[in-house]
Structure 1
Amino acid sequence: MLKNRHLVGWLQAAPLTVILLAFLVLPIAAIVTVSFWEATEWSIIPAFSFENYAFLFGSEVTGRVFLATFQYAAIAWAATLTIGFTVAYFLAFHVRSLTMQIALFLLCTIPFWTSNIIRMISWIPFLGRNGIANQALMDLGLTDQPVEWLLYSDFAVILAFVHLYTLFMVVPIFNTMMRIDRSLIEAARDNGATGFQILRHVIVPLTKPGIMIGTIFVVTLVMGDFITVRFMSGSQRANVGRLISNDIALLAYPSAAATAVVLLCTVLITIAIMLRFVDIRKEL
């Protein structure tokens, strides 16, 4: 009887196992394999070599690009966390009606009914030299001429990242806050805790799993995004995703694969470090 149960369990897990092997493990294994191949201007040589990794770690340009990628991820994370935590806190603790909570939450999702490209490009006429933002600044007398750094700059890239990925921070934080036992907040208030003390010692610690899930979403998405950097910087900035995209466009697949492997390892190490501090399995 026990053997039959084990057999049924293996049979139930088999379809998911096959899917993971076919669409996750094998593609990653193929990328890792190709990353050790050699390439010339005319051909790809399936020979084992560390040439791609040696060039990757020895290039000063690559170092600057990785640093820029980390900076984008850190700034976007800080901005999305601030906005996401504020929105989630307002929805969870200041909106009493469940119907209103759902309505306001759905309102936050409206921009996501369109594609990322459309939402990103919509900032270009707003931030442009003759756009709405510059026109408003000049009408208010805050500047005599258009501000150049609003578009095709790091500011525009970060703004687009925050716009695109804030909801990925709002959803897990809001979900965690809704699970907080309100009696804990009442107990803290009855014991004389101020609003800030309740926030710091009760709400934030209990919201850490949601914050960590949102952080994983935002950091991984920002570090792998290349199209946003390309359009919003006017091709004047680069991140690791753009390096991979450029190598693929040049048919330099081994170099692109090596960069992808390093990026994947970096993201996995970052996630592993974060999981050391918070057990997100409570939220899964």
Structure 2
Amino acid sequence: MSLAAFVAYIQAAPLTIILCAFLLAPVLMIAVVSFWDYDFARLYPDLILLNYEEALGSWVTWRTYGNTIKYAVMVWALTLVIGFWVAYYLAFHIRTTTMQMVLFLVCTVPFLTSNIIRMISWIPVLGRNGLVNSTLLEMGLIQAPVEWLLYSDFAVVLAMVHLYTLFMVTPIFNTLMRIDRSLIEAARDAGATSLQILTNVIIPLAKPGMAIGTIFVVTLVMADFITVLVMSGGQSASVALMMRNQMSLLQYPAAAANAVVLLIIVLLMVAAILRVVDIRKEL
């Protein structure tokens, strides 16, 4: 082995050790436990498929997975639209770099507080006697409080959009700031309208940022259980919430099996995104 190759291995060793210790080893441990047996009191190291059969053979489980994917798709679509237009405004309508940074930092101010605090702050707004219902009643637009504003899928999606939009704004804003402004000027000189510039120049060049934001948002939504629990009032479910309930009942192998299945689904989603968009130049 040459000296250069040896030095390269030495330089890569710390990161390799960290990834193996904090990423590969925990995932491998979860995969191993997913094949174990258990009862109400203890775990039994084994090699059985019962946990996967129970996870994939129940219509309740499939419905829970479908509900989780539904949340992921809805939150992704809303955060993509909101995140793109916020990033577009900051990148192309704010002239000075200083003001861009100031406004971007303003967007991050809510993230200086806990996710739990930001989530439950919607309860007095959306509740039966909350701000929205009180305002609509005073304006005479409704005769009775709207019940579905809180403890519903609407509340879950709204809270998740509030929590995760910045994870879409940041990579898109970074991508838009890298676009060569001469390309836009050339398109405008060629007679392109603002809409044509947006659809044919800006959006195609912003796809890597959209892809990175999509990976962030989808993975966060798929793993979120506290938002589903609180904002649905326990009336809805997600895979992460199901795993949390299984762990509270000491059913660790069953939770591990669902974790492996969820990980595979997320990895397939990420792989599909990477097949469509090349994000290497953004990393």
Output one character per residue of 1:81-137: Cα deviation in whole Å (capped at 9) or x when no partner.
Answer: 010000000000111011111111000000000010110011111111111111111
Determine the structure 2 residue equivalent to 1:232.
Answer: 231
1:172 maps to which residue? 171
Task: Show the counterpart of 1:86.
Answer: 85
C-alpha distance in structure 2 between counterparts of 1:237 and 1:101, whole Å: 39
SS in 2 for 1:251: coil
* Structure 2: runs of 5+ lacking an equivalent: none
Give the SS at the match of 1:276. Answer: helix
Measured against aligned partners, the alpha-carbon deviations of 1:205-237 in whole angstroms (never above 9, x if no partner) come to 000000000000000000010000000001111
The aligned length equals 283
- 1:167-206 matches, cutoff 5 A: 167-206=166-205
- Rounded to whole Å, the distance in 1 between the matches of 2:113 and 2:89 is 25
What residue identity is the alignment partner of 1:92?
A: A
CA distance in structure 2 between the aligned counterparts of 1:138 and 1:185, rounded to whole angstroms: 48
| TM superposition shift of 1:140 | 1.6
1:223 and 2:226 correspond:
no
SS at match of 2:2: helix
DSSP-derived class of the 2:255 partner: helix
For residues 8-37 of structure 1, the C-alpha deviation after alignment (integer angstroms, 9 at most, x for no partner) is 111111111111111111111000000011
Partner residue of 1:32? 31
Q: Distance in 1 between matches of 2:143 and 2:7?
A: 74
- 1:49: Cα distance to partner? 0.3
The amino acid that maps onto 1:60 is: W
AA partner of residue 138 (structure 2): D
CA RMSD of aligned residues (A): 0.8
Q: Read off the aligned partner of 1:94 and give its amino acid letter.
A: H
- Show the counterpart of 2:9: 10
Give ranges in structure 1 of 5+ residues lacking alignment. Answer: none
Distance 2:23 2:29 in 1: 10
Partner of 2:100: 101
Deviation string, structure 1 residues 49-86 (Cα, Å, up to 9, x no partner): 00000111110000000000000000000000010000
Q: Which amino acid aligns with 2:135?
A: A
Superposed, which structure 2 residues align to 1:247-258 within 5 Å? 247-258=246-257
Q: Residue 124 of structure 2 corresponds to which residue in structure 1?
A: 125
Q: Compute the TM-score of the two structures, normalised by the length of structure 1.
A: 0.98
Q: Distance in 1 between matches of 2:2 and 2:228?
A: 55
Match of 2:240 in 1: 241
The one-letter code of the counterpart of 2:74 is I
Runs of 4+ in structure 1 deviating by more than 4 angstroms, as ranges, are none
| 1:144 positional shift | 1.1
User: 1:123-182 CA distances to partner (integer Å, 9 max, x unpaired)?
Assistant: 111111111111111112110111100000000000000000000000000000000011
The one-letter amino acid paired with 1:150 is L
Fraction of identical pairs, as percent: 62
Deviation at 1:43, TM superposition (A): 2.3
Which residue matches 1:156? Answer: 155
Q: What is the deviation of 1:41? A: 2.1
Q: Which amino acid aligns with 1:224?
A: A
TM-score normalised per structure 2: 0.99
Structure 1 residue matching 2:179: 3-state secondary structure: coil
C-alpha distance in 2, partners of 1:259/1:136?
43
The answer for the alignment partner of 1:263 in structure 2 is 262
